[in-house]
Amino acid sequence: MKIAVIGSGYVGLVTGACFAELGNDVICVDIDEDKISRLNNNIVPIYEPGLDEMIRRNRKEGRLGFTTDLRKAIKESDVIFICVGTPPKENGEADVSYVESVAGTIADVMDSYKVIVEKSTVPVETGEKVAKSIKDYNIHKVDFDVVSNPEFLREGAAIDDFMHPDRIVIGCESEKSRQIMKKLYEPLKAPICFTDIKSAEIIKHASNSFLATKISFINAISGICELAGADIEKVAEGMGLDKRIGRRFLNAGIGYGGFCFPKDAEAFIRISEKLGYDFRLLKEVQEVNHAQRKNFVKKIEKALWVVKGKTIGILGLAFKPDTDDMRFAPSVEIIKALQMDGAKIKAYDPKAAGKAREIFKEIIYCDNPYDAAKGSDALVIITEWDEFKELDLKKIKSLMKHPLVIDGRNIYEPESMRKEGFAYISIGRKDVV
Ligand code: NAD
């Protein structure tokens, strides 16, 4: 099938590359000329495991191309995936102006039947508005269908998630578009949940909000564990063995971040409000998330007594492992708070330093975890990259000014840290002091 993917970011690039890998003829579009010129030189602007090779292979085999020519891409495609950003506006609502702008161009150019697929995360009723706008402005008055096909990929595991999804959600309201979407996704042999468009839009926001709720729930329990002297890891294990609950997303830590959960929860609250529902549960989920971050900073402040003039080594800047994405990363808020306290920050992240440099000029970027530990009064773990789980702790201790580790992701065992001679503070477990 001939596919245009509009918006070549984390979602668009993975969508484009994977559909090409499945044998389709794909053109990825972006308004960012620099991004497209880099992609045309095999330079992938994001870090996503396996994506470089997949893009290179499919370009070489002629199934994948990159362009800034949106009009041509629309004209020459049967199916158009809208993958542009929907960032939060100041009031928390999703900014759908990029989606509207693409819909406007489609209406202007389209002269034959197309399936227009919203893959970006959008408020419920956006599909309806996209369809109306295209219908009103389409000068050729041709037939088309709008479909909602929300994306559930996780950065860091995006290709695997796309190729082996738990489910594919397709909101469509015509048999023709249903058959086209079915054919497109058939090779994945995954369960397809067909719904109406509005239900598909809500499935996306409801799913992300549910996962955010699970994270905030376990974080709230971690606070209770700290007060009671219990161990959150054991509590999560005991809860998670219940199949109705499940162990995933029960990892206590410094709260969720990234480009999806914070903005989608906020947007869902606003959408519900507009529809006439006060989503108090989700507001509380956000509150717990903010508090978790603040409490973590307090733990650091308490452990160091006076932060001013201290050197703090940070391990991990990206909002999660295996990505370079810094959008709404917990590290940003934590580092800013520590800088306000007068700390000197040294940081190491395997992939996100480039993007972090656009946010923080004044921190020292290290080439490895040992450089970050060198001369530090405390080592703070913010992102649970695998390489941090296998550090030479004896070497770390010998390099630090003071052997204090504050772990926001519970990657070490308190008892083994005690044996290594560290003061060790983590989440929802007894401190080793
Ligand atoms: P992104 O910012 O990485 O990419 C969006 C791209 O769209 C940018 O490159 C931008 O230049 C481009 N763009 C904007 N307007 C355009 C236009 N008129 N024509 C062509 N290109 C245009 O964003 P992302 O992380 O890929 O997210 C895209 C959407 O997918 C969002 O709605 C997001 O919520 C959703 N989503 C993201 C993830 C994720 O993990 N990142 C997962 C699921 C869903």
Give me the CATH number covering residue 346.
3.40.50.720
Q: Given CA atoms 166, 169, 174, 180 in this order, what sign does their dihedral have?
A: negative
DSSP codes, 251-276: --SS---TTTHHHHHHHHHHHHHHHT
Q: Are 107 and 148 found together in one domain?
A: yes
Ligand 1, from 39, 51, 84: best to mutate by most atoms within 8 Å of Cβ? 84
Contacts of 383 (CB under 8 A, 6+ apart): 315, 316, 317, 318, 319, 320, 321, 331, 349, 352, 409
Give CA–CA dist 31/95, Å, rounded.
17
CB 368 within 8 A of CB 337: no
Atom of ligand 1 nearest to the CA of 155: 40
The model's pTM: 0.96
Residue 106 corresponds to which tokens in the numbers above? 């489609």
Going by C-alpha positions, the residue among 294, 388, 366, 291 that lies closest to residue 334 is 294
Structure tokens at 386: 């695998």
**Do residue 215 and residue 165 come from a single domain?**
no
Show the low-confidence residues of the chain (pLDDT under 70): none
- Pick the closest to residue 366 from 342, 338, 336, 388 (CA basis): 388
Whether residues 231 and 343 fall in one domain:
no
Q: Are residues 170 and 271 in the same domain?
A: no
In this prediction, residue 91 carries a pLDDT of 95
263-302 residue pLDDT tens: 999 999 999 999 999 999 999 999 999 999 999 999 999 9
CA terminus-to-terminus distance, the chain: 62
The answer to whether residue 153 is domain-embedded is yes
300 and 226 both lie in a single domain: no
Q: Does the CA dihedral 100-104-105-111 come out positive or negative? A: positive
The C-alpha atoms of residue 248 and residue 238 are separated, in whole angstroms, by 12
Q: What per-residue confidence (pLDDT) applies to 422? A: 98
Q: What pLDDT, on a 0 to 100 scale, did the predictor assign at position 269?
A: 98
Task: Say yes or no: 159 and 52 in one domain.
Answer: yes
Domain that holds residue 145: 2-195
* C-alpha closest to that of 312 among 324, 326, 327, 296: 296
Find the residues whose C-beta lies inside 6 A of ligand 1.
6-12, 29-32, 35, 70, 83-86, 98, 101-102, 120-121, 151, 153, 155, 259-260
Note whether 218 and 137 are same-domain residues: no
Residues above pLDDT 90, as percent of the chain: 100
